[in-house]
Structure 1
Amino acid sequence: MKIGCDVDGNLNQGKFSAPMPWIGIYVTAASLACLVTMAADVIHGIRHRKLWFPCKYFSINATSLTLIAVAIKLSVDLNTAMPSRQDQLAKLSSSVLVCTVIGNSMPSLGAMENEELFMNVMAFGILVVTLIVNICIQLATGAIFVFWKEHACVMFIMLVLLIMLSFSALTVPICKRYLEHKYSKRYQLALKESSNETGKRLVCKIREDLMKYWMMAHTSSPQFVMGRSATCTASGAICLLSSLILAEAILRTYLMPWSFKFCSGESDYKWSTTLVLVTQTVAVAVGTIAPASRWFIAINFRCAKRGNATYKGEFKVEKYWIQGLVELKDCPLTLRIRSRHCRKLAHDTKNKLLDLCIGMQKGNVIMSKAIRLISIFFVSKILICCDFCKEWKKNFKCNTVFNDSSLESSQSSSSLEHLTCYVLHLEGEDALVAHMTKSNCDATDHWFQRGRRSEPKHLIKLLEKSTFSQGFKGVAAFDNDKVPSLDGEEPPNCWALPVATLASIALALPNSSSSSIKGLMRGVNEGLMYINFIENHLESKDLTNIRKAATHVWLGVDLYHTWLDVDLRRLSLQGKSSEEILEELSETAKVKFEESKKSQTAINACIRDTPSKWPVKELAANSMYRICQTILLNHRGSIDQTDERLFEVLTVMIADILGACLTNFQEVISTKCLNSTIEDRAKSVRHAVHMLGETEKILNILDQSIPRSLEPHQISSIDEWRLSLKREDPWAFPSSSSSENDGASPVSNDFYLSIE
């Protein structure tokens, strides 16, 4: 018997149709994935009060396009019999789901790069055209024998939405370029205003700057710009219409069954079509929330009694809609055609096509604005009733309460007036400026308060021990210039490596209480998080390997209490003195440096052109050697130097380095808000506001602690700090020759150990 045939040699149809219910489950799973991601976007928008619903989880990309292609399997199935009502409804729901996806994901166009944008829109267009062609074939062959009017309307809606999506994508690069230029201008204005303000506390100054940066970043966010555009808001109305068509078909099928005549028999998909129908119906309902909300907010604001006094110029097509196409007309063709007449023909043909596209774009914009105006005409009465109800409720309020609220509103409006110029908007959006200012001004306060609730308590406690009032002298004291080098030259310092090395030494000291060690480790762990944040955004020389060495060292210390495989806690329990432990760590570092150097030389894998490019282990060993030798120079001969006192000295050194690094916070915030891409800028500012809330107490402690001798461009470098401190007070940081003096004064309240 041949495979696929029965005993009589006939084709076994039942065997081929057996897996069909599993294919239906596969379609259900893809539809469920679309449902979950669209629901996540709705929840995210409501939770963060972004009722224009940005596309964070569901957007047009390779993954979503694959899911959609699977989800519409029933609509493109040309030859499988689907006789029952749930079968025919499942075909319609698949088509409506595509309309919902287009309307839902339109803001995601703003988050794409130009090439990615072109490829995704092209792929989506091919998918939609394929679906329309398949539906037309099924209408002609009778595979779809009911709901033909609904299918015709949905196909028309799908085509309109695809045109809106495609032509909206053409404006994205132009809008980004314009808003990027405008952001740079306003950023310079914000810096100028900030430099002119004197007498304010550092936290208040940074917070005001961040309010300006947030207003600029949020209003210029490409997703927000696309979400408030005419085409996107109009697509919400069209998307809502498609979901109403599906609802009408479902209700009429179940409430008026006599108006339809379905075929007898069962589909090969069997019971799985019911799962598909239910899942896709819920997906359409959830997916319609975001586009419908954008549409309703747009008509709510543009209603004549709610912000617009007139509709004059409503049908004007702004320049940015067609500027990209106009610029393409001026670009010559890159085709290598020898004949001048052929080149002329190709150029003229290109211009004619672009003129057609410009005309279609103008028609697209005018149609979108017309949909918005028609929507206002029908919805305005409902809005007027809502306003009447609100006014009626206000009449029951006490006059004193009314007066207080009026006073508060006048004060808030005056305080927000200066933020208006930082709202970045496109041509034709002037009426939205005041609305965007009012609706987004409290966002920074929300994230600032959230940051306050997660402040680094252990780091704050550690920084209270620093000598910030004396200029963070521990920055210069951890390394003595007279300590001989391990390899001739010395690599530059970063902020993190000395902190990690000093913490390693503190962990190895004997007779230290577990509570003190635990508090120090937690404080350093929190502090290194901020150091990494600052160093990631500082424009400094190549310190990549040095920072890697710091990360490598701290990973071992934090997780395993080891430094380059040396067990620090076991070392502290061997009964040795602090001086002996420092000498052992110093010698171990020297040995590991030589081992690493020999191994790298043997395999010829290390380019030792500059010390900053040494291998990670050599940089870590060099840091440990120099710091241990420096402490030994200051430790020998000291009268009252106990283990507890030495631990305290190391703690203060660590606190000083952390505190000095955190004085760069304002500069880093400013850099972070400018250098991030326009797509991620709002997220960067939000993160910066949250970190400001976390570090408010720290910045209040460190305010006005920068040495006067440091120039602004030198504050970011720990080596510049060390040079500045040594120039100011060279006697506070003795060289090795100071150990030759006969007497030793008692250690003062300062962090450093010196022999006078």
Structure 2
Amino acid sequence: MDYDYTITYAQKSLDSTMPWIGMYIAAASAVCTLAMAADAFIGFRSNKYWLPCKYFSLNAFSLTLLAVAMKLPIDLTNVDVTYRDKYARIGSVVLMSTAMSNFMTSLGSMENNEIVVNMAALGILVITIAANVIIHLAQMQSSVTRVLLPEVVMSVVIMFSFLSTLCCVSLMAPGAKRYIGLKYDEMHESVSNRQVEWGRFSVDEVENMVKAYWVMAQTSRSQFVLARSAISCISGLLCLFIALLLVEARFANRLLFHWYIQNIKGRSESDYGWSVGWILNTQSIGVAMGTIAPLLRWFVASWLKISETERRSFRDELEVEKYWTWRLVEWRDRSLPFQLPNRLCKKLFRDARRSFLNFCIRGQILFVSAAKLVLFLSARLGSAVFLRFCKTKGSVLAGGHKSKEGEHADFRQYVLLLEGEPQLPYKILHNICNEADKLIQIGEKRQPENLIQLFKKSSNFCGVGRFDSSHVPSLHSQEPPNCWSLPVVTLTAISLALTYDKAIQLLKCVSEGFPIVKLIEETLDRTRELENMRNVADVVWDEVENNKKWDGEDLKSMRVRGTACKETLQNLSNRAGKTVTDFLAQANDILMQNPLNWPRRVIAAISMYRISQTILLGIGDGEHQDDDELFESISITISDILAACLTNLVQVIRLKCHRNDIREREDSVRRAVILLGESKEILKILQLRVLPSLDVEKAAKIDEWRASMALDHIV
């Protein structure tokens, strides 16, 4: 008796916590809903009506959330007595199906191994849900269970249909990416042959090049390729059907269910209690939010088909291209991944694998043909609707932008399409080009105004040749090479030490130019040869910009009032020279072999020593005797070095535009477009200047500039 009481008490204690578990389920469902809503909002905001997956994609996090949200259909201990229990169980399955429909385009952003792992995890979750729902139906043989039996069975069948759709897309995605990749390489080669050369460019040419790469990146985006495929029609149709099924389950059977429930005696409340309502409402909103993306992708795919000018026969419409089955054919024709000692077993295994894959290929072809049929019928129906409300189909497809069509017509040749795909409507191309224009405008708002004013102080690049004189004796037979950023930082530190108040404005100018110089150096130094030099410049610049110090010494207090600038320069030179000589006295032979491996403090000291000694030589020769003249000379030298470095901007923009990795391509091109906007005024200034005779590779190195200018007697 005491034992039964203990068990009953323990059961009641456990049951009392179930509503809070229900709230946990509702919270997981709410996170999924918010992620799908966020993707929809971002898609509408950016005019990408095919709604790319950013926050709600197929990964470990989303699958974990869905596993929590699916506890109701997985739970075999809960008896569905009330209407809300039964409907919430169906709603969970429908939410799972809707989530899978939203996952479709995210498969394009994955590597092949990621697709296999994520699809396997998703398949296990779907099979688990379906098995538990079927077991629950088999064990619950009451009349209450039979009320919503068709809806439950149909929801499970459609959930498996969505899984089949994702399997079809996962098999198609590698082939589609391979095909688009080949088209991209071909187009890139064509654009590269007409690339903008160093020193011979106009801003309009650079802008057209950037927009061409932007169109290539956007139209080759894997998620967009999947969204406009025929499979998106099947996904949208199934998503619409299962959403209507949920509505029917909620309203059509409610009165009938209450009539049955009145005849049931005993327990009339779920284990999850009051939390069932939260689960039901949250998941219903999730289904509503999740239906938006599949329907819009269905609409986009149909719209593209409607806009196709070339009419094809019905047989050609249902033709299945090679990229749909490329992955399966590759698996079928490759050799066995392992060796079998028995010849007969090897033959049997090979034949069995081949037969199975041939069956999968036929299934894939049948599924794709059905999707193409849905797309064809959707396009025909949509075309009839458009023609009913518009005089001509062209007025609809042009989207009201006929007058502007010539503006972006030249970029149609850069649109990358799969085999058999219709051309993109002008409105989509117009939106893509408009997005590039907006990014350029964002960059224009960030233009470095102070840096531009500094550029106007000089009209040539003579400062590149005179900041480091060959007449200054070297402290060692081997010294590290120059980079663009370190001389600029050193000259800025010297100007702060000499004329602090005036140099603050110069510091602002250099602050705007230094990130661009750093980007140029990192992009063009492909061998990473000068990486340590750049790191030295970063460390010194951080100290100069933020603390107004060099090598721990306050630059403002370096010049004592009443002393000449020559004494301050000599102090800087002596301090730097001592740092170098102390290091050389203690360094071992291995470290001395490569100056690039010397300590950062020593490399910075060498730069300070040589530049300060060069300025002292100029003062000795009667140049810039007063402070104002000296400060102006240093400012012009910095301007010349920055200007020479920034002549490589076009090359950097071009390199940023091209990325072989499709996952990095869009972000890289986006950065290039914004960089073009930021540097438009700079490029206009630089294109008017006479440049030395250098090729692209040599123009990226300051020492090559100095050598060229010495030969031309410009120094």
Q: TM-score, normalised by structure 2?
A: 0.91
Cα displacement string for residues 345-392 of structure 1 (whole angstroms, at most 9, x for unaligned residues): 121111111101101110120121222234446555544444369999
Which moves more between the two structures, 147-156 or 720-729?
147-156
Number of the residue aligned with 2:440? 448
1:241-283 Cα distance to aligned partner (Å, 9 max, x none)? 2222222223336677656638653323222222222222222
CA distance in 1, matches of 2:37, 2:504: 43
Structure 2 counterpart SS, 1:333? coil
What is the CA–CA distance in structure 2 between the aligned matches of 1:657 and 1:554, rounded to whole Å? Answer: 16
Shift of 1:52: 1.0
Shift of 1:544: 1.2
- Distance in 1, matches of 2:81 and 2:350, equals 53
In 1: Cα distance, 2:653 partner to 2:218 partner: 16
User: Could you tell me which amino acid in structure 1 is paired with residue 72 of structure 2?
Assistant: L
Does the 8 A contact of 1:676 with 1:684 survive in 2?
A: no
| Pick aligned residue for 1:555 from 531, 542, 551 | 542
Distance 1:556 1:539, change over 3 A: closer
> 1:424/1:654 Cα in 2 relative to 1: closer, same or farther (>3 Å)?
same
The one of 393, 397, 409 aligned to 2:402: 409
Partner of 1:209: 209
SS at match of 2:58: coil
**Aligned twin of 2:487:** 498
Match among 370, 373, 386 for residue 373 of structure 2: 370
- 2:110 & 2:406 partners in 1: Cα distance? 37
More displaced 10-residue stretch of structure 1: 416-425 or 490-499 = 416-425
Distance 1:129 1:257, change over 3 A: closer
Instruction: Tell whether the 8 Å contact from 1:109 to 1:223 is kept in structure 2 after alignment.
Output: yes
Residues 1:251 and 2:244 aligned together: no
Residue in structure 2 matched with residue 703 of structure 1 by the alignment: 687
Relative to 1, partners in 2 of residues 1:522 and 1:392: Cα closer, same or farther, differing over 3 Å? closer
For the structure 1 residues 127 and 311, does the alpha-carbon distance in structure 2 shift closer, same or farther, using more than 3 Å as the test?
A: farther
Which residue of structure 2 lines up, in the alignment, with residue 71 of structure 1? 69
Q: Distance in 2 between matches of 1:161 and 1:326?
A: 23
- Structure 1 residue 593 displacement after superposition: 4.4
Residue type at the aligned position of 2:545? D
Does the alignment pair 1:184 with 2:171? Answer: no
Contact 1:82–1:267 (CA under 8 A) maintained in structure 2: yes
| CA–CA separation in structure 1 for the residues paired with 2:228 and 2:609 | 60
**Which residue number in structure 2 is paired with residue 224 of structure 1?**
224
Post-superposition CA distance 1:433-472 (Å, at most 9, x none): 767545533332222222222222222122222x3x32x1
Matched, 1:729 2:713: yes
| Structure 1 residues 283 and 186, CA gap change in structure 2 (3 angstroms) | same
CA distance in 1, matches of 2:371, 2:119: 19
Give 3-state SS (helix, strand or coil) of 1:168's partner.
Answer: helix
CA distance in 2, matches of 1:235, 1:327: 26
**Number of the residue aligned with 2:664:** 680
From the superposition, tell whether residues 569 and 388 of structure 1 become closer, same or farther in structure 2 (CA, over 3 Å).
same
1:585 aligns with 2:572: yes
How many residues get paired? Answer: 706
1:167-178 pair list within 5 angstroms:
167-178=168-179
Given that 2:199 and 2:691 are in contact with CA atoms closer than 8 Å, whether structure 1 keeps it comes out as no
Residue 738 of structure 1: aligned partner? none
> Structure 1's 535 and 142: CA in aligned 2 closer, same or farther, altered over 3 A?
farther
The aligned residue for residue 746 of structure 1 is none
Q: Does 1:564 align with 2:551?
A: yes
1:268 partnered with 2:271:
yes
Change (3 A) 1:88 1:188: same
Q: Post-superposition shift, 1:343?
A: 1.3
Question: How big is the shift at 1:647?
Answer: 2.2
What is aligned with 2:472? 483
| CA apart distance, 1:295 | 0.5
Q: Does the 8 Å contact 2:196/2:205 carry over to 1? A: no
Q: How does 1:552-631 map to 2 (within 5 A)?
A: 552-572=539-559, 576-593=563-580, 608-631=592-615
Deviation at 1:11, TM superposition (A): 5.3
* Contact 2:39–2:53 (Cα < 8 Å) also in 1: yes
Work out whether residues 308 and 431 of structure 1, in 8 Å CA contact, stay in contact via their aligned partners in 2: no
Which deviates more from structure 2 when the two are superposed, residues 690-699 or residues 627-636? 627-636
Going from structure 1 to structure 2, the CA distance change for 1:195 and 1:453 (only over 3 Å counts) comes to closer
Match of 2:704 in 1: 720
The 1:294–1:633 alpha-carbon spacing in structure 2 relative to 1, beyond 3 Å, is same
Matches within 5 A, 1:51-90: 51-90=49-88
User: Percent identical across equivalent pairs?
Assistant: 38
In structure 2, what is the Cα distance between the partners aligned to 1:502 and 1:197?
27
Give the residue type in structure 2 aligned to 1:276: I
- Is 1:538–2:539 an aligned residue pair? no
Specify the SS of the correspondent of 1:288: helix
Aligned partners of 1:392, 1:620: CA distance in 2, in Å? 65
| Unmatched 5+ stretches in structure 1 | 394-401, 733-756
Q: Does the Cα contact within 8 Å between 1:549 and 1:619 map onto a contact in 2?
A: yes
Cα 1:204–1:379 change in 2 (3 A) is closer
User: Aligned ranges for residues 384-533 of structure 1 at < 5 Å?
Assistant: 384-387=387-390, 409=402, 412-432=404-424, 437-465=429-457, 467=458, 469-470=459-460, 472-510=461-499, 512-513=500-501, 516-533=502-519
For 1:679 and 1:79, the matched residues in 2 are separated by: 45
Alpha-carbon shift at residue 45 of structure 1 (Å): 0.9
Provide the rounded CA distance (Å) in 2 between the counterparts of 1:222 and 1:667. 27
Give the drift of 1:141. Answer: 2.0
Tell me how far 1:310 sits from its aligned partner. 5.1
Pair 1:634 & 2:621 matched: no
Per the alignment, in what secondary structure is the counterpart of residue 194 of structure 2? helix
Q: Could you tell me which of 39, 44, 47 is aligned with 1:46? A: 44
Equivalent in the alignment of 1:397: none
Output the CA distance in 1 between the equivalents of 2:360 and 2:90. 31
Q: Give the equivalent residue in structure 2 for 1:148.
A: 149
Residue 268 to residue 486, structure 1, CA distance change in 2 (3 Å): farther
Distance 1:520 1:245, change over 3 A: farther
1:138/1:559 CA distance change after superposition, 3 Å: farther
Structure 2: gaps spanning 5 or more residues: none
Q: 1:194 to 1:73 in 2, by over 3 A?
A: same
Q: 2: distance between equivalents of 1:89 and 1:624?
A: 77
State the 1:580 CA deviation.
Answer: 2.5
Q: CA deviation at 1:316?
A: 0.8
Contact 1:420 1:433 (8 Å CA) reproduced: no
Q: Is the 8 A contact 1:60 1:120 kept in 2?
A: yes
After superposing the two structures, state which structure 1 stretch, 536-545 or 655-664, moved more.
536-545
